[in-house]
Amino acid sequence: MNPFFENFRDRVPDWLDARGPASDIVVSTRVRLARNLKTFPFPHHASNVELGTIFGDLTRRLMRFAEFSGGWVLGMEQLDPPMRKVLLELNLASPALVKEPQHRGLVVSPGLERAVMINELDHIRLVTFRAGLDPTAALEDALGIDASLENEVEPAFSEDLGYLTASPADVGTGLNVSTLIHLPGLVLAGEIDKVLNALRQLQFSVRGQSEEGSTVRGAMFRIANLVTLGKDEQEIVDDFQTHVGKIVIYERSARDQLYARDPLGIEDMAHRSLATVRHSRLITAQEAYDHLSNIRLGAGLGILEPLQPGLLNKVLVQQQTAHLELASGRPLTSREKSAARAALLREVFAAE
Amino acid sequence: MTCQHCGQRDATVHLVELVDGLRKSQWLCAVCAGRASDNGDENPGFPFGGSGEEGEGEDGEFSLASFLGQVFESPGDTGMADLSACPVCGYTLDQFRKTNRLGCPGCYEAFRGPLLSILSHLHRHVSHLGKAPHPFAGGLDRPGILSRARVSLEKAIGAEDFEKAARLRDQIQRLESAEPPEGDS
């Protein structure tokens, strides 16, 4: 077994520790740079020999970087399907990487705050994470690794179009900055559609929590920039910071107004959810997301006793299906998953 | 011109490799170029590859660096590339329309016309204003980057965005102080 997966329940990403800016609302920020090698076809059009060459060469080079020292090389082909899904649930691997594992994989840093996906949609997809809303720090980190890579391999770059990517949606800076944000106040106040539409007007994409799904669970949204041309990296990140920063302010004020208007209702919701996760024997994923959302809201408003920082983020990741299956060491039926999820939540939220 | 490998079919692919710093050039037909590219037949028209030298690197490893020196050109210099297929990788505009993905970096040149309208729709802009890679020797058009940075600097000063202007000024100073690349690229 790849050593990455030994004691994987303790291997919690640093960026889930809730110690970043606006961590009461924003779980994490991710920056991604898409890069390609100048003389190879893009991964979906490349031969297996080419893909194998690229994977071998890039992993060797990256593992020599200080940023990845002590980290891991995770070849998707060598991993069992539940392990691949765990990487997906950690947001380290993308659905594309899981679907087509051959000669594809990633290099991950020890704190899981940096990763390079190799032969995903592009040859190189460099990602960095930060706790809370901190796109500038994540960008700085990503550009540092990018500069080191450019000392070693020549990227596909055009003078007028910038970094050339498999999809024209990423060309230019190849920069995607996204954030996972919890907006229960705006959802309960019925303001969420207005806010999300405004964001879409400003050329941002808004989706549910998971990389693939558009389903919104537990009022968690993923906001990302769409425009990669006509602005430099810092401008893209500054615009993102400005607009997401405004949403953080709207969310805080929506929460305060809701609580002021109906304190008993909000308190009941938070306590009821905490009681549910403390005592249930079967909990589906959808239920878990909803209760965790209410508990997060209650803790944020000071209704519930303070929780250990990052605990809610950690459990949000660990209650997912592949994490539960890998922890039990075998495939689970959906009833068994609900039972395992309930057991995890009881343990995490056990009353003192 | 006939293929320098089989001597039968018309050569359509110009394979140029840098081997130990020496330029090695061959004109091949699509079939031979495809064979040179890999053992399988996944991309028969694709002109990349180790030409049978795979696995013969110094430490028995297949080196990416040997690939990076390879340059491919379309036959002749007519500039009249067939717009329906990329001369570098053979990917067609039709495939792009189906997958929304391009075949290789060269596709951006081959399909430039249709792409520019897609890009202006997607991004509302068609110019890259972000960072450029470290210039490789003879690789990039440094004066182009410089002039673009100067235009951005003027814009930033006009908009009183002094933080950005300072950044651009530093970038321009770095570019100006760097050694100019030798020869033309």
Q: Residue B37: what pLDDT?
A: 41
Q: What's the pLDDT tens digit per position in B146-169? A: 666 777 787 778 878 887 788 778
Residues 64-103 of B with CB under 8 A from A: 64-65, 67-72, 89, 91, 99-103
Angle CA B134–A157–B33, to nearest 5: 120
d(CA A318, CA A12): 9
Q: Using the beta-carbon criterion (under 8 Å), do A36 and B105 form an inter-chain contact?
A: yes
Instruction: Say whether both A54 and A189 belong to one domain.
Output: yes
Nearest-by-Cβ selection for A156 from B40, B105, B134: B105
Q: Using the beta-carbon criterion (under 8 Å), do B127 and A168 form an inter-chain contact?
A: no
For residue A325, is it left (φ>0), alpha (ψ between -120 and 50) or beta?
A: alpha
**Chain A residues touching B134 at Cβ < 8 A:** 147, 150-151
Q: Which residue, B130, B108, B139, is CA-closest to A229?
A: B130
Instruction: Say whether both A252 and A267 belong to one domain.
Output: no
A55 close to A153: Cβ distance less than 8 angstroms: no
Instruction: Say whether both A26 and A166 belong to one domain.
Output: yes
Q: Is this prediction's pTM over 0.90?
A: no
Helix (H, G, I), strand (E, B) or coil at A114: strand
DSSP string, B114-152: HHHHHHHHHHS-----S--PPPPTTTS-HHHHHHHHHHH
Instruction: Say whether both A208 and A130 belong to one domain.
Output: yes
Give every CB contact of residue A80 below 8 A, 6+ residues apart in sequence.
Answer: none
Any A CB within 8 A of B39 CB: yes
* Choice among A145-149, A174-178, A206-210, A239-243 with the minimum mean pLDDT: A206-210
Residue B78 pLDDT level (bands cut at 50, 70, 90): very low
Instruction: Say whether both A93 and A161 belong to one domain.
Output: yes
Q: Residue A257: what pLDDT?
A: 97
d(CA A122, CA A173): 13
Structure tokens at A341: 């999820």
Q: How many residues in total does chain A contain? A: 352
Instruction: Say whether both A237 and A272 belong to one domain.
Output: no
Q: Which of B123, B141, B147, B175 to mutate to probe the A interface, most A CBs <10 Å?
A: B123
Helix (H, G, I), strand (E, B) or coil at A33: strand
Any B CB within 8 A of A57 CB: yes
B144 close to B121: Cβ distance less than 8 angstroms: no
Give the domain-ending residue among A256, A288, A305: A256
d(CA A34, CA A126): 7
The residue that leads in pLDDT, B180 or A25, is A25
Question: Nearest-CA distance from A235 to chain B in Å?
Answer: 9
Instruction: Say whether both A10 and A127 belong to one domain.
Output: yes
Q: Using the beta-carbon criterion (under 8 Å), do A234 and B167 form an inter-chain contact?
A: yes
The single-letter code of the amino acid at B32 is C
Instruction: Write down the ipTM of this complex.
Output: 0.87
CA atoms within 13 A on the CB side of B172: 15
Instruction: Say whether both A26 and A126 belong to one domain.
Output: yes
Instruction: Say whether both A215 and A326 belong to one domain.
Output: no
Q: Which residue, A120, A229, A226, is CA-closest to A177?
A: A226
The residue that leads in pLDDT, A142 or B1, is A142
CA-based torsion, A172, A174, A179, A180: positive or negative: positive
Query: Mean pLDDT of all residues in chain A?
Result: 93
Domain CATH number, residue A204: 3.30.590.10
Q: What's the pLDDT tens digit per position in A62-106? A: 999 999 999 999 999 999 988 999 999 999 999 989 989 999 999
Residue B16 pLDDT level (bands cut at 50, 70, 90): low
Instruction: Say whether both A15 and A110 belong to one domain.
Output: yes
Q: Using the beta-carbon criterion (under 8 Å), do B126 and A171 form an inter-chain contact?
A: no
Question: Nearest-CA distance from A224 to chain B in Å?
Answer: 14
Instruction: Say whether both A194 and A302 belong to one domain.
Output: no
Bridge partners, A158 (sequence order): A162
Q: Residue B66: what pLDDT?
A: 29
Q: Which residue, B141, B167, B165, is CA-closest to B153?
A: B165
Q: What is the DSSP letter of A78?
A: G
Residue A144 pLDDT level (bands cut at 50, 70, 90): very high
- Tell the residue number behind the tokens 């890679």, with chain if given: B133
Q: Which of B116, B128, B151, B167 to mutate to probe the A interface, most A CBs <10 Å?
A: B128
Give the domain-ending residue among A218, A235, A256: A256
Give the domain-ending residue among A195, A225, A256: A256
- Tell the residue number behind the tokens 């659905």, with chain if given: A95
Q: What's the pLDDT tens digit per position in A151-168? A: 999 999 998 899 999 999
Q: What's the pLDDT tens digit per position in A220-257? A: 999 999 999 999 999 999 999 999 999 999 999 999 99
The residue that leads in pLDDT, B14 or A50, is A50
CA-based torsion, A137, A158, A68, A313: positive or negative: positive
The whole domain housing A272 covers 262-350
Total domains, chain A: 2
Any B CB within 8 A of A11 CB: no
Instruction: Say whether both A317 and A335 belong to one domain.
Output: yes
d(CA B27, CA A330): 56
Q: Residue B70: what pLDDT?
A: 29
Q: What's the pLDDT tens digit per position in B119-150? A: 998 998 888 989 999 764 344 455 566 666 77
